[in-house]
A and B are shown apart, each in its own frame.
Chain A
Amino acid sequence: MAFDKMELKDIEVWDGNYAAAQAMRQCQIDVVAAYPITPSTPIVEGYGNMKANNYIEGEFVMVESEHAAMSGCIGAAAAGGRVATATSSQGFALMVETLYQASGMRLPIVLNVVNRALAAPLNVNGDHADMYLGRDSGWIQLDAYCPQDAYDLNFIAFKVSEDHGVRLPCMVHQDGFMTSHTAQGVHTLSDDVAYGFVGEYKPMNDMLDFEHPVTHGVQTEEDWHFEHKARQHNDLMTKVMPKVQAAFDDFEKLSGRKYNIVESYDMDDADVAVVCMGTSVETAREVAGEMREKGIKAGVVGLRVIRPFPFFEIGEALKGAKAIATLDRSSPNGAPGMLFNEIAGALYNTEDRGLLSGFVYGLGGRDLTKKHLVEIYTQLQANVDAGKVTTPLQQFIGVRGPKLQFL
């Protein structure tokens, strides 16, 4: 069945959701199995609209839950198709059981996760609770800071995930509402150029290869399970980053847009640094510039790749920073926080490591304001001046009530 190509302007005004839907269309996906949930609904809604208007040839399967959506994606990927879907929050949580199936079965699936808080209390707004929930699931996780990133990273995701040396599913994260529903100018690729970048899908161990019958989803017990998990971890640790870097390099040649495994802004001579993800990176960059006008050498580090964790790259990015703040947008619920822990681990054995303090912010869509960031940078400078962390290691910012700090 023939399908129509879409004429795009060089710059289109798209929100993050529509940018992701357009990227999915351009990748010529074979199967999308999806269930709607705020704030990711417009991705599959937009995609379904394009399908209805004959811009998409692949199958669009409406299912009864997110568990079924990811299960459908797993079946289609095992059969040998290019597959993607989208979800958020509670839907993501319902998918978790199948996320581990997808990665363990080594099936390349692209999942757009529009980050949203996890209930209870029920909340439809953005934080990183769902993103954090997925971090041990064996998926690759890429993080978009704006609609442009959400568009571009979908192409990167297909390219890396489907590589026969990788064969691991990939999430593309964007912040609920702040990215997903905020329209910005997005530089586009033409349909041919975009499809040329991801290339035709090359099946591997597919069930529709009748001359080489395979059974997918087998059981292993104590004599095999450990080896399978070790293999998967090995490939995440050693094979993914070089492919991500190669895809970033190829994409830069194609589009002129440069992505890095760890994004550094004003870090060359920075004394104080904030590490964060999502839309907060752009706010922090603005404040860092303002702090520099006041004489504080401020910088920002953003994670572009969350899993596999860029252990050495983040150590390199933070080299020379004397005081570092990690900003976790998910309640650690009894621990210091993912970014704090991971970065502490990455820095601990490095020379001249900076002073590290952690912040929990923005839960359930609470704004991270420039004022908050000024406070953080000011505290970091005070730590530098004192030569030690002058506050408890974990502080909550932007929450009402008495100052909340621990450790």
Chain B
Amino acid sequence: MATRGWDEFEIGAMLRTFDGKIDDIAGTNQEDRAYSQSSSFSASVADWRIEKPVFNKDFCIDCQFCWIYCPDMSIIARDKKMIGIDMDHCKGCAICVEVCPTNPKSLLMFPEQADEEVELAKWPTKEKKEK
């Protein structure tokens, strides 16, 4: 429950993404941005998820499909290389897995409680095309 009274916030159904002025936001990585507490970036929605994606970098070709298709900007890419998943905001929709073009896929869905190391160790192998 919030603690601020009716006279202790700005008017309107309006929230600020950043505290104070921002500059060159497009040139600043997310982790370096001073998001305000009211920005949705500051809130975790990890508990909405019942299945999670696991990323296997051994098969990834950095095509960026998952980065483009993720509806919640939860694929973290730097210098056009896929480096991981923002697990605070990923809701487990599995679109990244669906669009991943590698064989085997570089992203697969597992139950939320699955151990990432265990799943990576028994990752599927390349599927042979049936003739």
Q: Contact residues of A with B, CB < 8 Å?
A: 104-107, 167, 205, 211-218, 220, 223-224, 226-228, 230-232, 234-235
Q: B11 contacts A106, CB within 8 Å?
A: yes
Chain B, 7-58, CB within 8 A of any chain A CB = 7, 9-18, 20-23, 25
What B residues does A220 contact at CB under 8 A?
A: 13
Q: Identify which of B12, B14, B18, B23 gathers the most chain A CB atoms within 10 Å of its CB.
A: B12
> In the complex, what residue of chain A is closest to B18 when comparing beta carbons?
A213
What A residues does B17 contact at CB under 8 A?
A: 213-215
> In the complex, what residue of chain B is closest to A234 when comparing beta carbons?
B6
Min distance, Cβ B87 to any Cβ of chain A, angstroms = 23
Q: Contact residues of B with A, CB < 8 Å?
A: 1-2, 4-7, 9-18, 20-23, 25
Min distance, Cβ B60 to any Cβ of chain A, angstroms = 32
List of 6 A-B pairs having minimum Cβ-Cβ separation, nearest first: A106-B12, A230-B6, A227-B6, A213-B17, A106-B11, A231-B6
Are A217 and B13 also in contact (CB < 8 A) when A227-B4, A227-B6, A234-B6 are?
yes
Determine the distance from Cα of A226 to Cα of B14 in the docked complex, in whole angstroms: 15
> In the complex, what residue of chain A is closest to B2 when comparing beta carbons?
A223
Q: B16 contacts A218, CB within 8 Å?
A: no
Determine the distance from Cα of A215 to Cα of B22 in the docked complex, in whole angstroms: 15
Determine the distance from Cα of A212 to Cα of B10 in the docked complex, in whole angstroms: 14
What B residues does A227 contact at CB under 8 A?
A: 2, 4-6, 9
> In the complex, what residue of chain B is closest to A232 when comparing beta carbons?
B11
Q: B12 contacts A205, CB within 8 Å?
A: yes
Q: B15 contacts A212, CB within 8 Å?
A: no
Q: A214 contacts B16, CB within 8 Å?
A: yes
Q: B2 contacts A224, CB within 8 Å?
A: yes
Are A223 and B1 also in contact (CB < 8 A) when A231-B6, A231-B11 are?
yes
Q: B13 contacts A104, CB within 8 Å?
A: yes
What A residues does B12 contact at CB under 8 A?
A: 104-107, 167, 205, 216
> In the complex, what residue of chain B is closest to A225 when comparing beta carbons?
B13
What B residues does A205 contact at CB under 8 A?
A: 10, 12, 14
- A216, A226, A230, A235: which contacts B13 (Cβ < 8 A)? A216
Q: A211 contacts B22, CB within 8 Å?
A: yes
Q: Identify which of A217, A231, A232, A235 gathers the most chain B CB atoms within 10 Å of its CB.
A: A231
Determine the distance from Cα of A219 to Cα of B22 in the docked complex, in whole angstroms: 24
Are A213 and B11 also in contact (CB < 8 A) when A224-B2, A231-B6 are?
no
Q: A167 contacts B14, CB within 8 Å?
A: no
What B residues does A213 contact at CB under 8 A?
A: 16-18, 22, 25
Are A215 and B11 also in contact (CB < 8 A) when A227-B4, A231-B6 are?
no
Determine the distance from Cα of A258 to Cα of B21 in the docked complex, in whole angstroms: 44
Determine the distance from Cα of A234 to Cα of B23 in the docked complex, in whole angstroms: 35
What B residues does A234 contact at CB under 8 A?
A: 6-7
Min distance, Cβ B9 to any Cβ of chain A, angstroms = 7
Min distance, Cβ A318 to any Cβ of chain B, angstroms = 32
> In the complex, what residue of chain B is closest to A227 when comparing beta carbons?
B6
What B residues does A232 contact at CB under 8 A?
A: 11
Q: B14 contacts A216, CB within 8 Å?
A: yes
Min distance, Cβ B61 to any Cβ of chain A, angstroms = 34
What A residues does B18 contact at CB under 8 A?
A: 212-213
Min distance, Cβ A73 to any Cβ of chain B, angstroms = 15
> In the complex, what residue of chain A is closest to B3 when comparing beta carbons?
A223
Min distance, Cβ B67 to any Cβ of chain A, angstroms = 22
Q: A218 contacts B15, CB within 8 Å?
A: yes
What A residues does B4 contact at CB under 8 A?
A: 227
Q: A228 contacts B13, CB within 8 Å?
A: yes
28 residue pairs A–B, Cβ–Cβ below 8 Å: A105-B12, A106-B12, A106-B13, A167-B11, A167-B12, A205-B10, A205-B12, A205-B14, A211-B21, A212-B22, A213-B16, A213-B17, A214-B15, A214-B16, A215-B17, A216-B12, A218-B14, A218-B15, A220-B13, A227-B4, A227-B5, A227-B6, A228-B6, A230-B6, A231-B6, A231-B9, A231-B11, A234-B6
Determine the distance from Cα of A211 to Cα of B19 in the docked complex, in whole angstroms: 11
> In the complex, what residue of chain B is closest to A168 when comparing beta carbons?
B11
Q: B21 contacts A212, CB within 8 Å?
A: yes
What A residues does B5 contact at CB under 8 A?
A: 227
Are A215 and B14 also in contact (CB < 8 A) when A223-B1, A231-B7, A234-B6 are?
yes
What B residues does A104 contact at CB under 8 A?
A: 12-13
